[in-house]
Structure formats: C-alpha cells, structure tokens
Amino acid sequence: MSRDAARDTEARDGEARPRRAIDPEKLRERIFQRALNILAARPRSEAQLRERLLAKEWAAAERVDECIARLKELGYVNDATFAESYANYRMAARPVGRQRLARELAQKRVARQTIDRALDEAYEETSEETLIDRALAKRLRAHGRPTDRQGAKRLFDHLMRLGFGYDLIVRKLRELQAEVEENDE
C-alpha cells in the first residue's frame, strides 16, 4: 500500500495511527541530508538554514544545532564567506550601493558586524563611486539626460533605490549638471 493510500485509509477510519519514534541517529542523518540539499540549491546564511530546517515538524532544535555545528566544521556554513560572496556577486551583476547590500544581507539574517566587514572588503575592491558611475551611464543610455526637474528627481530616486548614499548622489548629479551646462555654452 502506498503512503497516500495509507493516509486515505487512516483519514476514513477517523483514527490517526501513532507515529513511530525515529531513531536519533537516523533523524540526525535525515536533518544533515536536508541541510545539504538546501545548501546545494543555493548558499544560505546560518539563520536562514536553521529556519528552513526547523520548518519540518520532525526536526528537533538540538539536532538542527548539531547539524549546523557539523556543517560549520566542514566549511559549508560560514556567514562571513556567504556575505562576502553575496556582496561581490550583487556588485558584479548590477551596480548597487552599500546601503542596499547591507539591507539585503540583514534580510538574510546575517549579523551586522559580519555585514560591515564583508561590505568593507567588497567596496575596497570596487569603490562605490565607480559603481554609481556605472549605474549613471546605464541609466543615461536607456533614458537620456534629465531635461527638467522631474527627470532629475526620477534619476535621483533611481539611484536611491539602488542604495547609494545621499551625499554621493547629490555630488554626482551636480557633476552631471555642470557637464550639461558646459556643453550648452
């Protein structure tokens, strides 16, 4: 009889059969295999992995902690490495500012200290100024230079959504305006 058929029979009888106790060693292995499957799909922070593992009703918190400790020993779970690789990937894929990356990593439940270290290292390699220049060039190619105050506001808002700092955006927009005025003369 298949599992589904057994459940249907169980539901018709109105009685739930008591669940068998799972051998602790089998449970430990089951949690470990689930963790490996989760990490194989994509890298995750320690907190994200813990949350996903605890979502299963059969996963006991102490067994999950043991599993994560083992994964840390093996080097499969490391929030610092996760944060660095995530920041580098996002910056290579699309120019984004420090604030946005910090917000995204915080949503992934990485510790603030780890986020700061990862972003310091990532922005040491590629400065935020270089990234905002790339973002500006891409936006100007797609939409042209802003011709009025409303266009400048849209450009400002776009750069803010990308996570660049207010002072940097204002400075870059003033430089862009100065270039426009020089070309008009």
Please say whether the beta carbons of 146 and 152 come within 8 A: yes
pLDDT at 17 over 50: no
Residue at which a domain ends, from 74, 89, 114: 74
Q: 146 and 174: one domain? A: yes
pLDDT at 9 over 80: no
pLDDT at 11 over 70: no
Any domain includes 16 = no
Q: 94 and 110: one domain? A: yes
Q: 58 and 86: one domain? A: no
Any domain includes 6 = no
161 against 184, higher pLDDT: 161
Q: 70 and 115: one domain? A: no
Q: 120 and 92: one domain? A: yes
Any domain includes 178 = yes
Any domain includes 34 = yes
The whole-angstrom separation of Cα 84 and Cα 77 is 13
Q: 68 and 88: one domain? A: no
Please say whether the beta carbons of 32 and 70 come within 8 A: yes
Q: 29 and 62: one domain? A: yes
Q: 88 and 103: one domain? A: yes
pTM score, whole prediction: 0.77
Nearest CA to 158 out of 139, 183, 144 is that of 139
Q: 30 and 41: one domain? A: yes
Q: Percent of the chain scored above 90 by pLDDT?
A: 67
And the tokens for 178?
Answer: 């100065």
183 against 76, higher pLDDT: 76
CA dihedral in degrees (108, 84, 97, 128; nearest 10)? 170
Please say whether the beta carbons of 126 and 91 come within 8 A: yes
Please say whether the beta carbons of 177 and 140 come within 8 A: no
Number of domains in the chain: 3
Please say whether the beta carbons of 39 and 74 come within 8 A: no
Q: What is the pLDDT of residue 25?
A: 85
Q: What is the pLDDT of residue 57?
A: 87
- pLDDT, averaged across the chain: 87
Domain that holds residue 173: 128-184
Any domain includes 14 = no
Any domain includes 162 = yes
